[in-house]
A and B are shown apart, each in its own frame.
Chain A
């Protein structure tokens, strides 16, 4: 028996997904268009034995999330552009210190205060490179209310598995949209637990994670007496060591490779009508909703158009784009920014297909009609009937 559908907002779905994933700590600061996540969790977390704190700013919010996670609790924060900018320092700390946590960025128009109530995809590069120094992150992009729920659970699983901050790149449209959804039953979706290292505290410093065996860190206040630092540290002992270049190199490469080595397992891409496509639309998040409508329309016209929708934006789905480039003559990249991901697509396509970028930065969703026009231009021979 399936549960009855419920009418849920994207932001509410993120909050419920976090609870289903076992998150029991939220720290945040009010900011449009993410505030409903904080409001929902302020109400819901105490009911399930969790804690909600409204912090003094976004820096404090992500810092408290790091602290709660280090104490052994799954934790998240939610924000939007200006707050996401403020969080970058501590996202770097979480990356360096390998702290599992989830950051939800409900994207709005920027830079600065920008367009607080309007959607944007302007933070996709900031999600990857916003903090200083070599590091890697995982970023997921929901394009529906149901995905706001399921990808939040997935984000927690990935953050625990790879001991890394995971960013959910929602936007004002997906976050504020309401859809009737049937939420998965408890137990239907995998929920990763943290676990503790299978060794005596005295032996803890002698065992070391490798790329295929990323060990959990014991919580603060345990017999393991861990040291956590944002300095470069020796991966074997955990002790800071800023003198030895080989120690810094080992850590720096490990922090990158622990994500990229597992790229195939992490990356999820949804393809639609790609089997025989001649033109592909590469679209993510809310824009993918318009792109899906265009693919249906084009197929009804007999035009071979397909959709490649990255669900994982970082690490970049290079393999899927390479595969697409070998097949189609044109890739259209509509996005609510100017060329941020199309550069990345172009790099992966490597000249094997034409890449057409199309950007909007006016806070308005890219409509199916706009993408239709882009598609039409790529079929010189096609007889379009309905336009």
Chain B
């Protein structure tokens, strides 16, 4: 159950396992590339960010969104660079602030499809406050988190999703802090669509992103990403293929997931939570309409 105290009557949430995101047929490379501004990225070989970027374009194309109405707002870090690569209206904001900027964008122009791209540190460390409040408001934006459990851009420091015992350049003897489960954090804070995918299972990733974009309200899509160069090399394997394959073992479909201890080795994937409640901008509009009626008769 969400941690949110809400006076509005919540409609009965459909059972999680019953919520099926749209099925998107993947697009060909020649259909994808027109939506990239450049063929060059700064991402390391083996990084999942390219896969997630493609999955996002696939989802946008599959939902047949008007490309002129798509706005991608990104934070800072490896994931934040997605803004400069995508051929939509894009904003590369400051570290942690993407959701707060997106709140202004969506509120000022509710006709836009606002997609927010963030890294794990970006979203839950420096941007943690904006994250829980955007979820609480249930503002209709899609938060797409690239969770690779490490700060890659600055060279491999631990993040709030680095597991206990894991090594990084700032936890050389093993991390002594517990990790956030970002999806459960989003749910507890009031997100009305929460899904997790992996870079390994591409089609599922496209589908859960599309499910988030088509959902009205705050949708949170956590992508388990691999960073072989830092996280993998320090903890698991520096081989991108091997690292990616390991996701196949770690990810358990949500209906079959029983281990509630959320161990590093096992996590549920799919649509984890889904419910309906009043969306922020629509509520704001309705309140404004009433105020204008009262003011002007």
Residues of A that sit less than 8 Å from B by CB: 24-25, 27, 45-51, 53, 55-57, 59-61, 63-73, 75, 89-90, 93, 219-231, 239-240
B57 to chain A, nearest CB (A): 14
Cβ contact within 8 Å between A64 and B103: yes
Cβ contact within 8 Å between B130 and A60: yes
Cβ contact within 8 Å between A63 and B89: no
Cβ contact within 8 Å between B100 and A221: no
Cβ contact within 8 Å between A67 and B92: no
Question: A55-B100, A66-B101, A229-B92 known; 16 other A-B pairs, CB under 8 Å?
Answer: A25-B107, A46-B292, A53-B284, A56-B129, A56-B133, A57-B129, A60-B129, A63-B97, A67-B103, A71-B109, A72-B108, A75-B104, A220-B71, A227-B92, A228-B92, A229-B91
Cβ contact within 8 Å between B288 and A67: no
For residue B169, CB closer than 8 A to chain A, the reply is no
User: Which residue of the partner chain A has the closest CB to B284?
Assistant: A51
A98 to chain B, nearest CB (A): 13
Contact with A along B232-273 (1 / 0, CB 8 A): 000000000000000000000000000000000000000000
User: How many angstroms from the CA of A59 to the CA of B131 in the assembled complex?
Assistant: 13
Residue from the list A61, A70, A73, A222 in contact with B68, Cβ < 8 A: A222
Cβ contact within 8 Å between B90 and A49: no
For residue B291, CB closer than 8 A to chain A, the reply is yes
Contact with A along B73-109 (1 / 0, CB 8 A): 1001000000110011111111001001111111111
A-B contact pairs, 13 of them (CB 8 A): A24-B108, A59-B100, A60-B100, A71-B104, A71-B105, A71-B112, A221-B109, A221-B112, A228-B92, A230-B92, A231-B84, A239-B37, A240-B92
Interface of chain B residues 104 through 131 with chain A (CB within 8 A) = 104-109, 111-112, 129-130
User: How many angstroms from the CA of A229 to the CA of B73 in the assembled complex?
Assistant: 10
Interface centre among A67, A70, A90, A223 (most CB of B within 10 A): A67
User: Which residue of the partner chain B has the closest CB to A240?
Assistant: B84
Cβ contact within 8 Å between A67 and B91: yes
For residue B69, CB closer than 8 A to chain A, the reply is yes
User: How many angstroms from the CA of A242 to the CA of B101 in the assembled complex?
Assistant: 23
Cβ contact within 8 Å between A221 and B69: yes
Chain A residues whose C-beta falls within 8 Å of the C-beta of B73 in the assembled complex: 67
Cβ contact within 8 Å between A227 and B68: no
Cβ contact within 8 Å between B91 and A70: yes
**Chain B interface mostly helix, strand, loop or mixed?**
helix
Chain A residues whose C-beta falls within 8 Å of the C-beta of B101 in the assembled complex: 63-64, 66-67, 70
Cβ contact within 8 Å between B104 and A221: no
User: How many angstroms from the CA of A90 to the CA of B75 in the assembled complex?
Assistant: 13
Cβ contact within 8 Å between A220 and B103: no
User: Which residue of the partner chain A has the closest CB to B294?
Assistant: A47
Cβ contact within 8 Å between B291 and A239: no
User: Which residue of the partner chain B has the closest CB to A97?
Assistant: B91
For residue B295, CB closer than 8 A to chain A, the reply is yes
Known contacts A51-B284, A63-B97, A64-B101: does B109 contact A46 (CB below 8 Å)? no
Cβ contact within 8 Å between A220 and B112: yes
Cβ contact within 8 Å between B100 and A63: yes
Cβ contact within 8 Å between B104 and A47: no
A107 to chain B, nearest CB (A): 24
Known contacts A220-B71, A221-B112, A227-B84: does B129 contact A64 (CB below 8 Å)? no
Chain B residues whose C-beta falls within 8 Å of the C-beta of A225 in the assembled complex: 67-68, 87-90
User: Which residue of the partner chain A has the closest CB to B96?
Assistant: A59
Chain B residues whose C-beta falls within 8 Å of the C-beta of A68 in the assembled complex: 104-105, 107-108
Interface centre among B76, B89, B104 (most CB of A within 10 A): B104
Cβ contact within 8 Å between B291 and A70: no
Chain B residues whose C-beta falls within 8 Å of the C-beta of A240 in the assembled complex: 84, 92
User: How many angstroms from the CA of A240 to the CA of B67 in the assembled complex?
Assistant: 22
User: How many angstroms from the CA of A60 to the CA of B130 in the assembled complex?
Assistant: 7
Chain A residues whose C-beta falls within 8 Å of the C-beta of B83 in the assembled complex: 227, 229
Cβ contact within 8 Å between A228 and B91: yes
